[in-house]
Structure 1
Amino acid sequence: MTMTSPSPYTLAEIPRQVAALSADLRACYPVVADAVRRRASKQGWDGLLRVVVTGNGDSLHAALATEMAFHTFGGVACEPVSTLRLLEYGTPWERRTGVHTLVVGVSASGGNARVVDTLARAATQGAWTLAVTSTADSAVARAAEHALVLPLTGLLPCPGIRTFQASLLTLYMVAIEIGRARGHLGDREADDAGAELAAVADAVAATVDLVRHSCAQVAEQVAGSPMMLMLGSGPGYGSAQFTAAKLVEAAGVFAAAQDLEEWEHVEVLARPRDMPTVVFAPPGRTRQRALAVARQARTLGRTVIAVGEDGDSELAAAARTLLPVGGGVREEFSPLLAQVAAGYLAGEIASRLGRVPFSTNRP
């Protein structure tokens, strides 16, 4: 008889990690901000023209979610890309040609072999390299010229929630300090952007209070669905990818993410007609497009759940349910609020299905 060890994962840890996000953001911000400033001065970011952020899973989702921030704050071209694509299809970067590139490898565990290989390859091709990880003496940390270690303590086995926020925070600060180093932001502007980021902790706390009950209601409605679809664009696309991943990891539900516009050209035709469809619509550039997609999807019979600012009456009317997040946060930082809904929704669905995270392939 073959005995299997009990899973180290528990459903109770998911809401605990979500509830810790606001305190984490407050505690981690000054540590991360100081570490990034020191790295910026050592690595010569004033000459950067391009940033490539790479990783897999949550790390890639963090890259997608922060792409806009590198444009806004850093004033640089940014490419979020998976490690395999970068390794096998990426172009070389040569400092001597003037195309100065920073490759940021993200791996909370520090053990992702593909991230290690990507950082090593990038260094041989002349790029600057930076690791973002929660494990100081890890293979990923050693593979880069410099490493930024996520200042998290007391982590227990769980689908990545606290680590995802720490990766977001670090990438946001890298973007801001690149902007300062390049002169795209003045010192006052960079300091103000950092202070604005730190203040998002209040909106995260408000979102924790706002959204948990709504996530429980949605879970009651959709837990029996065989598949779910997440839609977003810009930073919201990163949020859509992250949310889909949490549903798969926590509840074993097949969930996928798609761009808002691509949905209308492809998945609009998919069955079942009542497929749960989560639309990320933070205030910003694509909020109106998200609103139109939510309305269209509901007209077609989809079970539409919208993630948007509390009090957005148009969005609430377009969807079956609004998962409300705190207000007054710029679009670049909106993934910090969307992650709260993602964690609670995944945990509530898993609870109703009687499933434990990462249990799908366990005997």
Structure 2
Amino acid sequence: MCGIIGYVGADGALPIVATGLKNLEYRGYDSAGIALNNGTVDVFKQSGEIDDLTLPAEHSATCGIGHTRWSTHGQPTDANAHPHTDESGDVAVVHNGIIDNYESLKSELSSHTFTSETDTEVIPHLVEEHLSDGDDLLSAVEATIERLEGSFAIAVTTSGQDGFVVARQDSPLVLGHGEDGNFVASDVTAFLEHTREVSYLEDGDVALVTGADVTVYHDGGTVDRPVQTVDWEADAAEKGGYDHYMLKEIHEQPQALRQTLSGRLDTVTGDVDLELDLPEQYLNSLEEIQVVACGTSNHAGQYAARLLEQFADVRTTVEVASEYEFRGGRDPWRTLVVAVTQSGETADTLSAMRRAASAGARTLAVTNVVGSTAAREADDVVYIRAGPEIGVAATKTFAAQVATLTMLTVYVGRQRGALSGDRASTLLENLRRLPGAIQQVLDEEDATREVAYDLIDSDGFFFVGRHLGWPVAMEGALKLKEISYINAEGFAAGELKHGTLALVTEDTPVLAVLTDGAKPDQTLNNVKEVESRGAPVIGVSSLDDTTKYLDVEFAVPDLGTLEPLVANVFLQLFAYHVADALGRSIDKPRNLAKSVTVE
């Protein structure tokens, strides 16, 4: 996720675009840049936070586009910062999304000089090609996006032409209609102080934006996108109209997962492309994978461990990073240590990764942040590409971590010959369907809210599941504890009768994961035990006949071994609405930090 802002009109563009970037800083803060067009294009960009961006005191341009970056391709450097230009410097582009086929496009453009590591840079060079053929900017952008595969929201400006052209596919763009000019941005918060009149572009739309007018095109013809009046305050606008970042990020999961999966799956062959170069000899020699992580990342690792053992035929252990020691008697060469850390800066996880490296083991970081310490220090890295997460309680990054680790499972299993193409294709097809399945859950939020409100006076909560449902139960309990401050415990369902059943009463609701991949029939036996003791039972289920044992049932779409991950979204929504009903500080829960950078 990155931030885009553009303005063209009667006023100076520099202060408007610069302020718009600051308003979008929550969308990315690795680097920032602005392109100003007053007949010629001037670009100012650099790595670091927006406040570090060196800009002129004044500039005569009344047209400009800006970008704040969350890195997905290439390190957060000056060269990789947006806007990107063609060789002449006449075309400037800002982009949010991922161009899946940028490598093949770059090969086609071998006569051009590229100066960055980013996927975005192919866009200005493609536009340049079409402009040199005599196209105007609108036609050049339309021809360019026909070549692009993946997700994108782009704004393009060029010397000698007024305004800019924008386009979107699977990444948001909103137009702002002002009295003295017009705007484009990733979120309305970028320009809310100037206008509240907006229209939202749809996938496949291309728009020509000038100071006088905005014209939207789709499939070669003009279309009208209705103008709406935004009544949010600026703080709510940053949250897309949601009351909290956490809720916004729960709802961002389908889009975040599309970014995670984009360009990486081949559901026909059953192969994945994670840009990894782990030698086949090494993977075939593996005796063990050790996953080290904390909190939510540890739960993602627990989920992955079961997949790795089932589909890649390799013993996998998961350890809390703060308790990790590389065990003696194991051949470091035959052990891969996977460090899972959203921020890439988690102190305990970095310490565990370093201990593994010092013992001679190969290390692989699974992280969200390009250029983070974990990414720099690990032998190999896979990015989850979920975009920035503002809420302290992790939501979309958990889903993206599990999805990424599932792809890693396929990669390792295929390399080791343990996973057939057919089985891999089935698993990858379920991954491909995951965003849509989660959207179905999000569409049922009102029902989840109602159940949550009914149970806010409970003494405590128990979350249970088996196999892949166990880490999801632990994650569900963690979310509720983090943001509601109510005691909650997540554990393997079979452990109920080994002590915890003594605590079960009519005031301790039980939330059970009863999906494929979670041994639902066996878990249902445990549900019967708590139901007979009067506890309210909420089941997240894909079973056909559970109604007589459940007080409330939420149905999970058919998705095989990924069904527990879909079930997790119900648990996130449940935790959120319990905390919201209690008036808790959801985005900044007491005593907690987003990234734990001290041991």
1:265 maps to which residue?
498
Alignment partner of 1:319 is 2:557: no
Q: Of 438, 446, 451, which aligns to 1:213?
A: 446
Alignment partner of 1:72 is 2:310: yes
Q: Highest Rg: 1 or 2?
A: 2
Q: Of 530, 541, 555, which aligns to 1:308?
A: 541
2:248 maps to which residue?
16
Partner letter of residue 66 of structure 1? Answer: A
Q: Which runs of 5+ in 1 are unaligned?
A: 1-5
2:480 maps to which residue?
247
Instruction: State the Cα deviation string for residues 188-228 of structure 1 (Å, max 9, x = none).
Output: 54344323321222222222223x12311221221112321
Q: CA deviation at 1:339?
A: 2.1
1:27 maps to which residue?
259
Matches of 1:116 and 1:42, distance apart in 2 = 26
Q: CA deviation at 1:134?
A: 0.9
Partner letter of residue 533 of structure 2? Answer: L
1:223 maps to which residue?
456
SS where residue 274 of structure 1 aligns?
A: coil
Matches of 1:277 and 1:106, distance apart in 2 = 29
2:590 maps to which residue?
360
SS where residue 36 of structure 1 aligns?
A: coil
Whether the aligned pair in 1 keeps the contact of 2:469 and 2:518 (CA below 8 Å) is no
Matches of 1:183 and 1:322, distance apart in 2 = 40
Whether the aligned pair in 1 keeps the contact of 2:459 and 2:507 (CA below 8 Å) is no
Matches of 1:112 and 1:165, distance apart in 2 = 19
- Structure showing the higher helix proportion among its residues: 1
Partner letter of residue 94 of structure 1? Answer: D
SS where residue 394 of structure 2 aligns?
A: coil
Q: Of 331, 336, 339, which aligns to 1:94?
A: 331
Instruction: State the Cα deviation string for residues 154-201 of structure 1 (Å, max 9, x = none).
Output: 533341111111111111111111101101124454344323321222
2:295 maps to which residue?
57
Instruction: State the Cα deviation string for residues 21-78 of structure 1 (Å, max 9, x = none).
Output: 1222223203555652534458932322211111010000101122221122211111
Count of aligned positions? 347
Q: Of 419, 444, 462, which aligns to 1:185?
A: 419
Q: Greater shift after overlay, 164-173 or 116-125? A: 116-125
Q: CA deviation at 1:150?
A: 1.9
1:123 maps to which residue?
357
Instruction: State the Cα deviation string for residues 298-349 of structure 1 (Å, max 9, x = none).
Output: 110111111112xx352232111112222x211x312320221122111110
Q: CA deviation at 1:151?
A: 1.2
Matches of 1:41 and 1:156, distance apart in 2 = 37
Instruction: State the Cα deviation string for residues 222-254 of structure 1 (Å, max 9, x = none).
Output: 111232111111110110111111111221221
The 1:81–1:154 alpha-carbon spacing in structure 2 relative to 1, beyond 3 Å, is closer
2:398 maps to which residue?
164
Matches of 2:374 and 2:388, distance apart in 1 = 21
Partner letter of residue 498 of structure 2? Answer: H
SS where residue 567 of structure 2 aligns?
A: helix
Matches of 1:203 and 1:287, distance apart in 2 = 19
Q: Of 230, 236, 239, which aligns to 2:469?
A: 236
Q: Greater shift after overlay, 246-255 or 102-111? A: 246-255
Partner letter of residue 354 of structure 1? Answer: G
SS where residue 115 of structure 1 aligns?
A: helix
Whether the aligned pair in 2 keeps the contact of 1:37 and 1:177 (CA below 8 Å) is no
RMSD: 2.5
SS where residue 171 of structure 1 aligns?
A: helix
Matches of 1:193 and 1:200, distance apart in 2 = 11
1:329 maps to which residue?
559
Whether the aligned pair in 1 keeps the contact of 2:513 and 2:564 (CA below 8 Å) is no
The 1:271–1:152 alpha-carbon spacing in structure 2 relative to 1, beyond 3 Å, is closer
Whether the aligned pair in 2 keeps the contact of 1:11 and 1:351 (CA below 8 Å) is no
TM normalised by structure 2 equals 0.54
SS where residue 237 of structure 1 aligns?
A: helix
SS where residue 156 of structure 1 aligns?
A: coil
Q: Of 47, 63, 68, which aligns to 2:285?
A: 47
Matches of 1:46 and 1:301, distance apart in 2 = 52
Whether the aligned pair in 1 keeps the contact of 2:250 and 2:572 (CA below 8 Å) is yes
Partner letter of residue 384 of structure 2? Answer: L
Whether the aligned pair in 2 keeps the contact of 1:130 and 1:147 (CA below 8 Å) is yes
The 1:112–1:43 alpha-carbon spacing in structure 2 relative to 1, beyond 3 Å, is farther
Matches of 1:95 and 1:277, distance apart in 2 = 42
Whether the aligned pair in 2 keeps the contact of 1:67 and 1:235 (CA below 8 Å) is no
Whether the aligned pair in 1 keeps the contact of 2:504 and 2:535 (CA below 8 Å) is no
SS where residue 184 of structure 1 aligns?
A: coil
1:341 maps to which residue?
570
Matches of 1:45 and 1:20, distance apart in 2 = 34
Structure of higher RCO (CA pairs closer than 8 Å, 6+ residues apart) = 1
Identity fraction in percent: 23
SS where residue 529 of structure 2 aligns?
A: helix
